[in-house]
Structures are given as C-alpha cells and as structure tokens.
Amino acid sequence: MKKSKYLFVLLLLISISVVLLGGTFFYVKLNNKQSDDSELLVMTSCNPVYLATINVVGDAEGVIVQNLSQPTTGCLHDYTLTTEDMKNLSKADVLIVNGGGMEGYLEDVVEAYPNLPIIDTFEAVEEDYPVIIEEEAEEEEEDHSHGTSEEHHHDEGANSHIWMSEEIYAGQVKAIADGLSSLDSSNASVYASNADTFISVMDSQIDNQGLDETLSGANVAVLHEAFAYTAQSLGANIVATMDLDEERQVSAGEVSDFINTINENNVQVVFAEYDYGHAMGELITEQTDAKVVYLETLVHGDYSGLDYITVLNKNYAVIKNSL
C-alpha cells in the first residue's frame, strides 16, 4: 500500500515537471508579441546600438526602447542570452543589432522568434564604409563562434567593432532610422529628423584633439581589435594587433613578436583596454618606448543620451595627453 502511495506521488511530480517545462518551451516559441499593440517595443543588442537608437527614436510617440541585459565582464561575442532577455524578446516588435558576428546568439533568436524583424546595422553599412578585415580570419573564427543564420552571416574575418569609428557609426544611425521607418511609417519623419540632428551633433561635438594630423601615417599597435577603428579614424598605420580577452591565451612567442614589431616600427602609441590589456601594457612600457593608453569600448556600463560623444572625446583626450 505504501509503495503504491509513493509511486503515485512520484508520477504526480513527474507530470508537474513535464507541464512546467512544456509551458516554458511554448512561452519561448509562441509568445512572439505580448506588449500593448498601440506601442512599438524596440529591443537593442548592446550599448552602442542602444545609444544610436534612443537618439533616433527621441520622443517619437508610442515607441519604447529597451536594451538587452549586458554582461559586466567578458567578451560581447560570447554573451549568452538570459531568461530575462528571452522574455523581453518575446514582447519585442523589432530587434536592432550591431551585426557582423558581434551577437553570437543571433541564430538562437531567429530560431525562437522567426517572425521578429531584425535590423542588422553592419549589413547596412558594410558596402559603404571601410570595414576592417582581420588578417587572421581562421583564428578569429576559432576564438569567437560568430556564426549566425544564413540571413545574417558575414565574412568571419570582418572586425565587427564598427561603432568605434564615428564615420561608420553615423552610417549605423542612418540604418536604424531607415529600418524603423519601414516598420513604423507614422514616425518616419521623426526618425529621419532625429538621425540627422544626432549626426550633426556628433560632427560638431566630437573633438579628436588634432590627432588626425598628429598620428596621420604614424605607426601604432592595438591590444583590442575595437581600437583598430580608432586608429583608422585618425589615419594611423596599424603594424601590430593582439586582441585580448579573458579567454585569450598568449604565447611567449606572440609576446616577443609583438614587442619586436613595436620596436622595429618605431610605434608611438599602443591602444589598449585596461581589463585585459593592463599586464601586456606594463610589459610594453618596460621594453619599448611606446606609450600605452587605455581606452573605452562603450560596451560595458550604463550609458544614455550623448554619452557616445562623451566617451569618444574622453578617449581622444587620453591619447592626446599621452603624447
């Protein structure tokens, strides 16, 4: 009798578990839209795209912009969607992404929400702006699983940190305005006007401190591939790149080659990100005459309004002061 009772309880628990798991699955697969139909919910994939989007949207009536939750540390390429992210996406009307392989989870989003429109800003600008192509495409592919769906697939050798170039970022802003206008024609004129205004403010307020003249043609090195676009914006010549993150294992031979390249090419400045480049930066300072400057990538932190301009100006000021 007791065995029968225990068996009944066990079967009941198993049934409850199956129902709960099934409910979760159908929530993710079927609830593509749960928000108020009178509002347009725009989700963005990362801080740089979020900043561009809130400036494009401005005070457009009935439009809400939310950013997916961001990691406090780690590489954005390897970011894994949280349960909260999936819930937010289930309510979204559109997802705006950087693209170019930056969002490694994009294939999962397409599979879970096949009807969710995606505005891929990389795809929109790659033919019109000088996107940097990494020389070591095979290594990049191994380090970061960049693959997405066929619709959003790009050359695995492309450097997807395009927002670090203010020129290309302006193209992303336009792409966002165009994409939103196609989905929300009632606010199309607002999006276009706001995009033009934001780009004009960028043009007038971003100050590279004359570095485009100081570093034009100068040899530089970078310890984070995002800053290849910083160097490109200033007309500098990149002679060495070492993309560092928490999973990057650097061999003694790589370090030696990097140091030698800096010395042999009279590198004036090395652009680095502090969290992952500090140890290598100290070594470079000890063994070369190059100045190591630590810059921000705009990926981590809480940003709003015109913070894109503020951060770029801060980066340029740091470089200027180091020289």
pLDDT digits (tens, 9 = 90+) for 61-86: 999 999 997 766 556 777 888 899 99
Asked whether the predicted pLDDT for residue 8 surpasses 70, the reply is: no
Q: Which CATH superfamily is domain 40-205 in?
A: Nitrogenase molybdenum iron protein domain (3.40.50.1980)
Residue ranges of the domains in the chain? 40-205, 211-322
Given a cut of 90, is residue 202 above it in pLDDT? yes
CA distance to 74, 89, 148, per residue, from 108 (Å): 20, 11, 8
The string of DSSP letters for 227-270 reads: HHHHHHHTT-EEEEE----TT----HHHHHHHHHHHHHTT--EE
Higher-confidence position of 145 and 136? 136
Position 220 pLDDT exceeds 90: yes
Query: How many C-beta atoms surround the C-beta of residue 302 within 10 A?
Result: 8
Helix (H, G, I), strand (E, B) or coil at 272: strand
What is residue 7's predicted lDDT score, i.e. its pLDDT? 52
Four-residue CA torsion sign, 304, 307, 309, 312: negative
Strand order in the sheet with 118-120: 63-67, 40-44, 94-97, 118-120
What burial class does residue 200 get, using C-beta atoms within 10 Å of its C-beta: 0-12 exposed, 13-18 middle, 19+ buried? exposed
CATH of 211-322, one of 1.10.150.120, 1.10.357.10, 3.40.50.2300, 3.40.50.1980: 3.40.50.1980
Please say whether the dihedral angle defined by the alpha carbons of residues 232, 233, 237 and 243, taken in this order, is positive or negative.
negative
Q: Do domains 40-205 and 211-322 have the same CATH topology?
A: yes
Residue 153, pLDDT > 90, answer: no
pLDDT confidence tier of residue 20, bands split at 50, 70 and 90 = very low
Nearest to 96 by CA among 70, 59, 74, 123: 123
247 in Cβ contact with 276 (< 8 Å)? no
Dump pLDDT digits (tens) for 236-273.
999 999 988 766 778 899 999 999 999 999 999 999 99
Percent of the chain with pLDDT over 70: 79
- Work out the average pLDDT over 106-127: 95
Global confidence as pTM: 0.83
